Structure 1
Amino acid sequence: MLTVLRPVVVGLDGSLESLAAADWAAREALRRGLPLRLVHAYEGLTPEASRLPELEAPRSWAAGILRGAMDRINERYPQLRLSADQISRPATDTLVRAGEEAELLVLGSRALSGFYGFTAGSVALATVARATRPVVLVRAGRTSEDERLPDAEGRPSARAPYREVVVGVDTSHPCEEVLGFAFENAALRNAPLRVVHTCRPPGLLGAANAEAEVIARRTAEQALAAATGPWREKFPTVRVCDVVQSGRPVPQLLREAEDAGLLVVGREHRPAGLGVRTGPVAHAVMHHVRCPVAIVPHA
């Protein structure tokens, strides 16, 4: 039976962020042995509008986005199987549909502030909230050297070992998809994997609180070990470090991901009719983590 390979798909809009996403997606496609598909949505390309001369300039600009990105990728990664599509549909609908057919979808993300980051109406945030497959967000300026540790002299190097993959896990919810994605990516990079779980501190006082916190942490460690156990057996070469801390998950993940090459978090996939949202943890790390962030939908 012929196996159909899902491509890595990257959404392009001509920004520096989307070009960084295209570079990251190209390297990821090579790591996975998959083709890369470039997608640009342009709502002006309807059959009726195609004959309007006043749309010639924006039409040429839109086509130039794909041509420029294809030339860039072909020059930097000539061994990559590459395709490109310009689609006449709203951007979010286009990216969500393309992501359904992809191994993962890669998008550019903006600067670290409320105004320049993900706003409620942004294409990236809306796409993440509706996607049924993993989505990776990449900042402008990210290079292949940023994925790796510095060399022996402390300089950026494309030959040094990969930085660790960090994954945030909530053992009270299903996390198989999230852990599977994190272990797979650590294995692809031969990188260490840091599994982070934050447990809620007990609402007690004094010595009783200290004892209750020890019990709570021990219980959380056991739950995390049970969740990661099957994946450790499936990926025996991955070096895993379990981290259990009391407190709030977002500050903990931000600290753990400071030197990471990739952060993986989950997002609950909501059935149609229940609305779309990213969840507080995914929303926070998308705004504040500098390394690429993978958001993995789960049941």
Structure 2
Amino acid sequence: MLASVMAGVDGSAESLAAAEWAAREALRRGLPLRLVHVWDRHPHPAQEESVSAVQRHLARSALRQAQDRARAVCPDVRLANELVEGPAIAELLKAAEDAELLVLGSRGLSGFTGFLVGSVAQGVVARATRPVVLVRAGETAADELVSTDYDSDGPRTGYRDVVLAVDLDAPGDAEIEFAFEAARLRGARLRVVHAWQTPILGLGPGEVDLLNDPHRAEEWQNALTGALRLWCDKYPDVEVVATVTKDQPRTALIRAASGAGLLVVGHRIAERPLGRRTGPVTHAAIHHVDCPVAVAPHV
């Protein structure tokens, strides 16, 4: 199957925002947009025919609505839609195997409570082998752009920064490449952030200087620069600002993403006793960052 940008839609406001974002991304990448709605039929045997007919009607309606929204914002996008029956997480993962990325919606909540990410979206992010982008309800094309005026109605020009969180203890090529490519496609600046903390360990005589914060910050900065050197050479047109900060990774990530157009984080694919799940930094990103979040899996 031809590579595509895929969006999972269900008729909700957040999935419609995801469809719009996916349409814009498909145009940027020169790929078709594939809208997929998954419905899981579990009617009572005595009501199977009538309930299934209603479910199928609602599913087709959700697809049409998403298609209309995508075409409204991107009339030139090549578009296909698909109705799939089965368990949502499994079918979305299966459908996304041939996609370049999968886009899903996340519901915005007010205040410090963060974002409500449904069980389907969380399950997909935890198990996906392709990048997954989560988009909040209400996200529009204007939110990707910077304003040249403090007036919210002022003219907008240029894309907001793409922010990449890098864990130098286990950096993944997948998220680094995704972030550089996203910045290149947008002509945006790429801000790369690594957070570090003073280790808790026993020190012997003469070892106190090992915890000298300025020295450690310089070491981390050099390590980050080294980790990015290959990608900077591969993407010479991307402006890169790489910084290290002494802070909790989750706190630094949320702060860095403020005002960004896209946040990119990695997700290490690993089997755990309770099954695959997201790590604490990725969890914080998808629940508390208000711009679209791309989660790129790596081994």
- TM-fit CA distance, 1:127: 0.5
- Say whether the 8 Å CA contact 1:144–1:158 is kept in structure 2: no
User: Which residue pairs with 1:44 in the alignment?
Assistant: 41
User: Which residue pairs with 1:117 in the alignment?
Assistant: 116
C-alpha deviations, 1:260-288, integer Å up to 9, x for none? 00000000012598820111100011110
Determine which of 99, 102, 106 is the counterpart of 2:99: 102
User: Which residue pairs with 2:136 in the alignment?
Assistant: 139
Kindly report which structure 2 residues correspond to 1:149-188, keeping only aligned pairs within 5 A, or say none.
149-152=146-149, 154-155=151-152, 160-188=157-185
Q: In 2, distance between residues paired with 1:69 and 1:15?
A: 9
Change (3 A) 1:140 1:209: farther
C-alpha deviations, 1:214-257, integer Å up to 9, x for none? 22111111110111000000111111111101121110111111
- Code of the aligned partner of 1:146: D
Bigger Cα displacement from structure 2, 63-72 vs 188-197: 63-72
Change (3 A) 1:210 1:181: same
User: Which residue pairs with 2:67 in the alignment?
Assistant: 70
User: Which residue pairs with 2:145 in the alignment?
Assistant: 148
Q: In 1, distance between residues paired with 2:153 and 2:188?
A: 17
- TM-fit CA distance, 1:71: 2.3
- TM-fit CA distance, 1:110: 1.3
User: Which residue pairs with 2:189 in the alignment?
Assistant: 192
SS in 2 for 1:297: strand
**CA RMSD for the aligned pairs?**
2.6
C-alpha deviations, 1:122-172, integer Å up to 9, x for none? 100001000001000000001100000013463357851000000000111
SS in 2 for 1:149: strand
- Code of the aligned partner of 1:174: P
User: Which residue pairs with 2:19 in the alignment?
Assistant: 22
Q: In 1, distance between residues paired with 2:235 and 2:253?
A: 23
The reply to whether residue 254 of structure 1 matches residue 254 of structure 2 is yes
- Code of the aligned partner of 2:175: V
Bigger Cα displacement from structure 2, 270-279 vs 31-40: 270-279
Q: In 2, distance between residues paired with 1:189 and 1:268?
A: 26
- Code of the aligned partner of 1:187: R
TM-score, normalised to structure 2, is: 0.90
Structure having the larger proportion of residues in strand: 2
SS in 2 for 1:260: coil
C-alpha deviations, 1:43-77, integer Å up to 9, x for none? 2299x999712432222111111112112222332
Percent same amino acid at aligned positions?
Answer: 47
Bigger Cα displacement from structure 2, 88-97 vs 16-25: 88-97
Q: In 1, distance between residues paired with 2:114 and 2:22?
A: 26
- Code of the aligned partner of 1:10: A
SS in 2 for 1:290: coil
C-alpha deviations, 1:185-228, integer Å up to 9, x for none? 001000000000011224489x9479621221111111101110
Q: In 1, distance between residues paired with 2:62 and 2:266?
A: 31
The answer for unaligned runs of 5 or more in structure 2 is none
TM-score, normalised to structure 1, is: 0.90
- Code of the aligned partner of 2:283: H
When the two structures are aligned, how many residues end up with a matched partner?
292
Change (3 A) 1:276 1:203: closer
Bigger Cα displacement from structure 2, 89-98 vs 138-147: 89-98
- Say whether the 8 Å CA contact 2:147–2:156 is kept in structure 1: no
Change (3 A) 1:110 1:279: same
- Code of the aligned partner of 2:145: R
Change (3 A) 1:115 1:165: closer
- Code of the aligned partner of 2:56: R
User: Which residue pairs with 1:216 in the alignment?
Assistant: 216
- Say whether the 8 Å CA contact 1:45–1:88 is kept in structure 2: no
Kindly report which structure 2 residues correspond to 1:232-271, keeping only aligned pairs within 5 A, or say none.
232-270=232-270
- Code of the aligned partner of 1:118: V
